[in-house]
Amino acid sequence: MGLIWELAQVKKENKALLIKIAELEAEITELKRAGVERPSPQGVILKDETYFQADKFIISRKLVRMEPTGSDSMDPLFDKGDLVIGLADFDRNSLKVGDVVVYGANAQYIVHRIHSITEDSQGRLYRLVGDNNGGRIDPYLVRNEHLIYLVVGVIYLKKEA
């Protein structure tokens, strides 16, 4: 009977240690993130393409607006229901790590940040990640032809109470 009790105590302590290790790893990841400069999206709209007219802000480029509904994977950049402004006519080969793009996967649109870029004989391959996905990189390798929009802005909408 004493061995069974001792085994139960060791399992209990092991579980507590595993939980503590996971908490410390998460804290270390957050500290690393806070102190490191991360790549930011690069500008694609020229200042000359923007102007104010009466009470309107005008961008003289063909833009699209999207209202993400799937998840909060891009917190804190935007939440579900905010307006994400995208540009369809952009040079895919000039994209950089840190740019935020919209791509198609499994019959849905996904808005994520470029994590890394590689090339093979068929062209560029992108690894993407949601800002709020705990560093988990998307399982897809995305090619230029799967990129639909380049995100150029966000309008934060007031949420209904």
Write the pLDDT tens digit of every residue in 96-125. Answer: 999 999 998 777 888 999 999 999 999 999
- What is the average pLDDT score of the chain? 83
Which residues make beta-bridge pairs with 150?
A: 87, 101
DSSP 47: G
4 is a domain residue: no
Tokens in use for 98? 């840190």
User: How far apart are the C-alpha atoms of 109 and 148, rounded to whole Å?
Assistant: 9
49 is a domain residue: no
115 is a domain residue: yes
pLDDT digits (tens, 9 = 90+) for 27-63: 777 766 666 666 667 678 888 888 888 888 888 888 8
Number of folded domains in the chain?
A: 1
- Amino acid type, 106: N
User: How far apart are the C-alpha atoms of 41 and 111, rounded to whole Å?
Assistant: 13
The answer, yes or no, to whether residue 131 has pLDDT greater than 80, is yes
125 is a domain residue: yes
130 is a domain residue: yes
pLDDT digits (tens, 9 = 90+) for 74-89: 888 888 888 899 998 8
pTM over 0.75: no
Domain assignment of residue 129, given as a range: 63-155
160 is a domain residue: no
13 is a domain residue: no
121, 123, 137, 144 from 118: Cα distances, Å:
11, 8, 14, 12
